[in-house]
Amino acid sequence: MEKQQSTEINLKKTIVTAIVGYVCLVVLVYFLMGYQLHFRASRGDLEQPAAETGTVELVQGTVVEQTFSAKIQRLQSVSVQWGTYYRSNSGTVTMELINQIDGSVVMSQSFAATEIAEGGLTTMTAEEPIETVYDAPLLLRLYADSQPGSAVSPMMCLTAPEPEEDATPFALMLNGTPTEGELCFSAAGEDYIWTGLHYWEFAAGFGAVLALAAVLIWHRYKKGKHSYVVNALIAVRKYRFLIRQLVDRDFKTKYKRSVLGVFWSFLNPLLTMAVQYVVFSSLFRFDVPYYPAYLIIGIVFFNFFSESTSLALGSIIGNAGLITKVYVPKYIYPLTRVLSSLVNLVISLIPLLLVTLVSGLMPTKAYFLVPFALVCLAVFSLGIGLLLSALMVFFRDIQFLWGVLSMIWMYLTPIFYPVSILPKSVAWVLDVNPLYYFITFARTCFIDGISPEPVIYAQCMMMALITLLIGALVFRKTQDRFVLYL
């Protein structure tokens, strides 16, 4: 029997496990991401301008034409907005999309005028996405067979949009007469994702790098030299029991003297959600689909972040009695605090799932992608936690500063409000807010039921890893001086 934690590791087994794990992961992700791995909503989609006036009454013999081009690789649909003069109309209106290069009709569809409501849209949808019209000059033609007095009118805005550089400007023609302004229409489709197209090449390339690294590590290990990876593995093995004990301790003492105990981990997000739901859906009337689910995802994620960072913040100070007497790698203290918050987070996923089910969302395979966001969030929080716990040793007022900072951070993260209410001047904050990415990732999985596009994965991972790296470097650089300030 071993008295001490063993420092021997079975490197061969670890390497084999890592490689098998990698292959499984690659296949699993391919399957889970499915359609979203290959296509995303096109960046070249044309938005519908706000309607300002009607064009002409679309009676028989009248033609409304709008030229445009769109950088959409797979065009799926084109919509037009209509005015009805607030009366019931009759006849049929027809939408045609013509490729101006060869004059061919690529899409065409007719709609009964009776069906069209004031301000309503007609959308013609391609049976198969059209791949031949990328950036091509297109003509949208509208005509009808209605009689005057019972015809609808397509809407328009009065100013044509600024044409993009070296693109032909869009033109609106009413009965062949060029007119200033633009038809209220939109075009949507999807683009191929380059990474998705080359998924297997990427996976293989990265796998090859991994295998090469494994070979190198193995080689060094055989020669008796210990690389970083081997040392890390030994440390994990050696301190596994201690980490488990400390996490256990945090968890046991947290609810030790409460009647409901662990049930609070469960109840807390539910209660917060209920309060915020009442406040924000009746007072501010945010119009967000599946608002309870939207709320609780934000709450659970942000709660974890604020709990784990504020626990980690005091971890070095709080264990001063031990640090000055026993040698234990000091990163263990912030690490265990983040891990015990993680246990909490996993428990609060139960109320989260309950809320999504009650809101009428059906589980999809995208739910299995959520752990990625959780891992990124935990790694990110660990990075911040390491940074804070180190700074806290030298400057005790960090704790008050962090209280204020995390509150500001909360308001700058769309937890209870929709992204759309942010004015343009503030919206840039979201682009640099890692929490926004993690929360959006989870919301896409839970609420839309689909995988986020591949680039979001890369962004989440980069933000988490860079934060961890900064935190770890600061911690490492200062840890030898902790004892002197405790």
Partner 1 sequence: MGKTVIEVNDVTMRFRMNNDRIMSLKEFVTTAVRGKLEYNEFTALDHVSFTVKQGETLGLIGRNGAGKSTMLKVISGILKPTEGTVRTEGNIVPMLELGSGFDMDLTGRENIFLNGAILGYSEEYLKAQYEEILAFSELGQFIEVPIRNYSSGMLARLAFSVAAMVQPEILIVDEILSVGDAAFQEKSRARMMELMGGGTTVLFVSHNMDQIREMCDKVIWLEQGRVKMAGTAKMVCDAYAL
- Cα–Cα dist 102/132, whole Å: 12
CB of 232 to partner 1, least distance (A): 18
- Name the residue nearer to partner 1 (CB basis): 284 or 394: 394
- Cα–Cα dist 484/429, whole Å: 38
Q: Which two tokens stand for residue 135?
A: 């950036």
- Name the residue nearer to partner 1 (CB basis): 223 or 257: 257
CB of 395 to partner 1, least distance (A): 4
CB of 314 to partner 1, least distance (A): 14
* HEC-encoded secondary structure of 444-457: HHHHHCCCCCHHHH
DSSP assigned state of 51: P
Q: Which two tokens stand for residue 278?
A: 């009442």
| Secondary structure (3-state) at 75 | strand
Positions that interact with partner 1 (CB under 8 A)? 1-6, 238, 241-242, 244-246, 248-249, 252-253, 256-257, 321-328, 395-398, 401, 480, 483-485
CB of 241 to partner 1, least distance (A): 5
Distances (CA, A) of 133 to 109, 130, 194, 432: 18, 7, 19, 35
- Name the residue nearer to partner 1 (CB basis): 417 or 485: 485
Distances (CA, A) of 132 to 32, 125, 194, 257, 289: 29, 15, 18, 68, 35
Longest dimension (CA), the chain: 97
Torsion sign across C-alpha atoms 131, 34, 15, 239: positive
- Name the residue nearer to partner 1 (CB basis): 127 or 480: 480
- Name the residue nearer to partner 1 (CB basis): 132 or 253: 253
CB of 72 to partner 1, least distance (A): 53
- Name the residue nearer to partner 1 (CB basis): 247 or 435: 247
The residues, ordered by sequence, that sit 6+ positions from 339 with a Cβ below 8 Å of its Cβ are: 243, 247
- Name the residue nearer to partner 1 (CB basis): 155 or 323: 323
CB of 449 to partner 1, least distance (A): 43
How many Å separate Cα 356 from the centre of its chain? Answer: 17
CB of 335 to partner 1, least distance (A): 14
DSSP assigned state of 184: S
